[in-house]
Structure 1
Amino acid sequence: MFDIHPLTPAIGAEVRGLDVRKPPPPAVYAALADALHTHQVLFFRDQDATAYHQRDFAAGFGALQRFPFGKPAAPDLPEVMVLATGGEGPKVSNADIWHSDATFMAAPPMGTMLRAVSLPAVGGDTLWADMESAYRSLSAPMRALLDGLTAEHDFTKSRSHRGGDMDALPPVVHPVVRTHPATGRRCLYVNRIFTTRIVELDERENELLLPFLFDHVTRPEFQVRFTWRTGDIALWDNRSTQHYAVYDYQGPRVMHRIVIEGDAPR
């Protein structure tokens, strides 16, 4: 069927022996979903896939979302978004800040699938961090405090998302610690890009606690780092991870992203 090769004790695994151009049967998708719940981010190396193959493969994990920001890869591929960075122009993306995708939505994505289309000669790695480990590593009193709190998330805080319809996406409130709907495990659910404040705390308390939580996720023991090759695909669980795209390269870096619909955090 396929083999799973973990990359760190906490997070990340390579899936070997699977050609994504041939969407697998339901039993294989179920096994991949189990692997995703265990390792939180899966890597499929050296795939000779098109944007259409990527879309069809991603569709086996859930309904695909037509994201309100971004440029589609083709007119008949509204689910596949082009992420192009580097080149001659100024840097506008804020992907090089630790975050979970689109937590400013009432029902943020369940997962994200990213495919490397064109890469710089050197650099452009991506890191992912395990928010379940980040939560478990906190002291019991800190976990008890966070378990009862909620936080506001707002897309206007992000410079990459400006220009959208602000009325269509007002700020939303999610738990500071969410429960994974498939595994029941708890994880931190605040991020530096979109989380604006913890609702139950005053301004001074927010100034102390939020920066600590934002910095906490950067501990190396929570992380996996992936060096891309053209054709590689990554699929990650957006509910229990954060990621960081390293902006250390010159020349264009083009990726195709697909977002899989999720549910309201609990």
Structure 2
Amino acid sequence: MGALLREWRDRRRISQLELALRADSSARHISFIETGRARPSQEMVLRLAEHLDVPVRERNALLIAAGYAPHYPETSVDDPSMGPLREGMERLLTGYDPYPAIVVDGMYQVVAANQGMAMLLEGVADHLLRPPMNAMRITLHPDGLAPRILNLREWRGHLLEQMERQLALMRSSPLRKLYDEVSAYPLGSGGQERAAAGGDHAPFALPMVIEHAGHVLSFVSTIATFNTPMDVTVSELAIETLLPADPETAQTLRRLMP
């Protein structure tokens, strides 16, 4: 417990005194916890984890290291108790059509997607679309979207940096294995091309520029997560929406999917 706490404190660049002030404790007590001279209560572990902004899954790891049972359950999205959550996500995705939107879990497995995203995935190899679908594989695999992404080098770099930030917060061997796999995919011809986003329009964020049905579409990505999650699964769900980066892309999507 002490080593884990010190590691998280170092990651957040917070001194023992600052953490103690935030958690209504003392620097002496924090020092004793980190050196193993004191065993914190379950309440203290959760309080420290909250002030260090520790991910929910890792909060359970801290509790286990301190000798307590996990506090946060990990419920499958398919569980009946998750029905209202699934319905809410489906309504959100449907309302976003014709713009592509998708829900992924902490391993980038596809939980749900709307018709706009399904349209964009036309032409992706069948082996990538068989469950469990993985958004990173679909995007970066040579049989996936990669050959149609005109700024693949930049977009690939953005996605790999996103995974690296996630790996810095999680001890996940499956996620590390996925990162090693997708980062080893060949760049291919898509990385040799470069298309300006929206013609003369200056992009306001890094776009994904992709060919689809004879059109060049430009998207910027937004990611939404759930506030104050009380379940490991819910804490790792992310809703990604692709927003048209120029008027031409918006008009084309409305024509392709009225």
Q: TM bucket by the smaller chain? A: under 0.3
TM, length-normalised to structure 1: 0.26
TM, length-normalised to structure 2: 0.26
Q: Report the structure number with the largest CA radius of gyration.
A: 2
Structure of higher RCO (CA pairs closer than 8 Å, 6+ residues apart): 1
Q: Relative to total residues, which structure has the larger helix share, 1 or 2?
A: 2
